[in-house]
């Protein structure tokens, strides 16, 4: 558990949007294997659906290679087969009626490619963003439990850029939400950065002060148990709600209203309790 905490601290200490952008823009090459042109078109349309801007689709087409083409590179990052064609270990089948069954094994085996896959191929975007939200919410819940944070939000003076380093453990939670904002922006095809994401970051900072009051209200009505469980549950739910608001922002070009975010938070709190109980049990 201590190793996990150290890793989480290291990740947030490198709160560098350019590093996130560099990871997200790494070119991903995909090899396709199909029985005929119709099969190849089906695989291409899965990776590059209709509605993509023409220039983006044209750029991504240079990274998709059909088996048998004269310019196919010796190696690609992953290989996707048309359904019904047997393949060797390490390749993946496209399930036309169940894209999730196609995507999940790829992300499981190529975690390092998740961010660039989401940025470059829209079919991967939603599951990757969901994975980012879940992972960061879990990190924050774990940190809240492990460090016995007395408050789940920092004051403005504790923000990481105030002193160039973290003034307290509580600053980790908000800093990690900002890192999540960078990751989600990159996954959604945007360029992450403090200036470019001013509205999102200000929303995270301003919202942090509202969680304390809302947490007091909800903890009084929802049985969360004793000890560190409420801290972990609140940290998970608050981070999850921020993440869903960021996801909505990149889909609808506007953040959740206070009412929408509060409703997501209320719904997430019970799930946060389960996560916190699991993490606190592992800690023991």
Encode pLDDT of 96-143 as tens digits.
999 999 999 999 999 999 999 999 999 999 999 999 999 999 988 888
Residue pLDDT, tens place only, 166-223? 334 557 788 889 999 999 999 999 999 989 999 998 888 777 666 655 555 655 555 5
Enter the tokens of residue 166.
Answer: 């973290």
Q: How far is CA 79 from CA 52, 57, 145, in A?
A: 22, 19, 41
Confidence of residue 163 (pLDDT cuts 50, 70, 90): very low
pLDDT at residue number 214: 58
Residue pLDDT, tens place only, 227-260? 567 878 888 998 999 999 999 999 999 888 888 9
Does this model's pTM top 0.75? My answer is yes
Confidence of residue 226 (pLDDT cuts 50, 70, 90): low
Spatial distance between the Cα atoms of 56 and 42, rounded to a whole number of angstroms: 18
Highest mean pLDDT among 55-64, 204-213, 270-279: 55-64
**242-262: burial string, b at 16+ Cβ within 10 Å, e else:** bbbbbbbbbeeeebbeeeebb
Residue pLDDT, tens place only, 146-156? 765 444 344 33
């Amino acid at each position: 558990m201590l190793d996990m905490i150290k890793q989480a601290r290291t990740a947030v200490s490198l709160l560098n949007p350019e590093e996130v952008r560099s990871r997200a823009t790494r070119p991903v090459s995909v090899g396709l294997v199909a029985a005929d042109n119709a099969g190849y078109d089906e695989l291409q349309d899965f990776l590059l659906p209709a509605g993509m801007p023409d220039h983006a689709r044209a750029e991504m087409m240079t990274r998709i290679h059909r088996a048998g083409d004269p310019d196919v590179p010796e190696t690609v990052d992953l290989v996707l087969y048309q359904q019904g064609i047997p393949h060797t270990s390490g390749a993946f089948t496209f399930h036309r009626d169940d894209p999730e069954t196609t995507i999940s094994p790829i992300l499981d085996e190529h975690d390092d490619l998740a961010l660039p896959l989401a940025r470059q191929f829209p079919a991967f975007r939603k599951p990757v963003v969901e994975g980012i939200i879940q992972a960061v919410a879990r990190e924050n819940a774990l940190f809240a439990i492990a460090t016995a944070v007395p408050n789940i939000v920092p004051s403005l003076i504790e923000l990481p850029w105030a002193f160039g380093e973290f003034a307290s453990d509580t600053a980790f939670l908000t800093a990690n939400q900002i890192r999540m904002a960078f990751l989600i922006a990159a996954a959604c095809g945007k360029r992450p950065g403090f200036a470019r994401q001013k509205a999102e970051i200000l929303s995270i900072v301003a919202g942090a002060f509202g969680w304390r009051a809302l947490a007091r209200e909800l903890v009084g009505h929802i049985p969360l148990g004793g000890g560190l469980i409420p801290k972990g549950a609140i940290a998970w739910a608050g981070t999850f709600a921020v993440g869903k608001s960021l996801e909505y922002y990149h889909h609808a070009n506007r953040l959740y209203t206070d009412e929408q975010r509060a409703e997501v938070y209320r719904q997430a709190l019970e799930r946060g309790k389960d996560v916190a109980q699991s993490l606190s049990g592992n800690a023991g």
